[in-house]
Amino acid sequence: MPTSIVRELPELATAWTTTRGAGSVLAVVDEGVDLRQHPEFAHRDITYNGDPAGDGPERGRRPHGVKVAGLALGSGRNVLGVAPEASILAVGVPALSFATGDPAEADGLVWAADHGADVICCAWGPRQPTRTSGALPPRTRAALEHCLTHGRGGKGCTVIFSAGNDGSDLALNGYASHPGVITVGACNCHGTHPSYSGWGDALWCVLPSNDPHDPEGASMTYLTTAPAGSLVDGEAYYTTRFGFTSAATAAVAGICALIVSANPDLTNHEVRIVLRDSCEKMDIESGTYDASGHSILYGYGRPNAARAVELAGQQRLATHTA
């Protein structure tokens, strides 16, 4: 059955007693992010780039970015996202509908960093990557370095990528294996590894999502937003069909927005460490965790939003008393 992110992350209620994301800015860089006139995102400082509108018949065919935004940032009218009070930068890169590597993806990343993004959510990556097809283009690499070193006044944007849904080694994916990003995979409702989720040394963490090969987890998709006025999946404004690593990535992006809201002084590296240290191990017997606590199937585990916000606050206290 479809679920809500609040049900799967019950600790959000505790995290929200400290912050619901106010003051942080989350950029959704995706194939199309048309949030205009959607009741879930009213008065949220939305800004557009690339092909923001998709006003013609293509609009309803690019719902992915709107789904991402809803799970990360829904205000609670019908979808309560992880960071419901964070501001939004919606960055449309239509070329992502077809493939990675277009110069527009690099331009979108830079634009997000230069227009105030604290967190940049990239719930996409090369499809069925090989060493060649999954390589990170020089222009995109330069854009990522710009985000990580010049964003947020030099503290660096927190950049989050999906581990992908083709079950491949992340060593083949130059985007997700960039050493400065947070790479997010999926676990299923049993806390084990779904075969589609990308794996490897670059995996940072996982979050629950659907699992087509599991009888119980096959239908565990999330309620989220759809483009306003469309009939995506037969539903106007909302859809119950959002899952795989994209959903996990959107939720972790929301958690990172909560971390930044709780402590705006954190660098992107410190956000990564806070997220890592909030993680709870799963499938310990079969997870092949190494001496550092990392698993190629689960990264450092499943982030706990309440613990992450608490750790961010402790870091603020340590900084101010040092």
Q: Which of 168, 246, 261, 278 is catalytic?
A: 246
Q: Please report the pLDDT score of residue 155 as a whole number.
A: 98
Residue 61 is predicted with a pLDDT of 55
**Amino acid 56: pLDDT:** 35
pLDDT at 54: 41
Range of the domain at 170: 5-321
Distance CA 184, CA 191 (A): 15
246 is catalytic: yes
Read off the amino acid at residue 5: I
Task: Give the model confidence (pLDDT) of 167-197 as tens digits.
Answer: 999 999 999 999 999 999 999 999 999 999 9
pLDDT of residue 9: 97
Residue 213 annotated as catalytic: no
Taking only the tens place, the pLDDT of each residue in 276-308 is 999 999 999 999 999 999 999 999 999 999 999
Q: Which residue has the tokens 């019908």?
A: 78
Q: Which of the residues 38, 64, 193, 294 is marked catalytic?
A: 64
Dihedral (CA of 258, 74, 184, 159) sign: negative
**SS3 per-residue string spanning 16-34:** CCCCCCCCCEEEEEECCCC
Q: Are 201 and 16 in contact (CB under 8 A)?
A: no
Per the annotation, the verdict on 64 as an active-site residue is: yes
Map residue 252 onto helix, strand or coil.
helix
What CATH number has the domain bearing residue 171?
A: 3.40.50.200
Give the pLDDT score at 32.
Answer: 85
Distance CA 183, CA 275 (A): 12
pLDDT for res 265:
96
The 3-state DSSP class for residue 271 equals helix
Q: Report the DSSP beta bridge partners of residue 27.
A: 89, 120
Q: Is the dihedral of CA 290, 292, 298, 299 positive or negative?
A: negative
DSSP states of 201-253: TT--EEEE---TTSTTTTT-PEEEE--TT--GGG-SSEEEEE-HHHHHHHHHH
Going from the C-alpha of 116 to that of each of 27, 120, 154, 158, 205, the distances in angstroms are: 9, 10, 12, 12, 25
Per-residue model confidence as pLDDT tens digits over 134-164? 999 999 999 999 999 999 999 999 999 999 9
| Helix, strand or coil, per DSSP, at residue 164 | coil
Q: Give me the number of domains the chain comprises.
A: 1
Which residue ranges of the chain lie beneath pLDDT 50?
51-60, 322
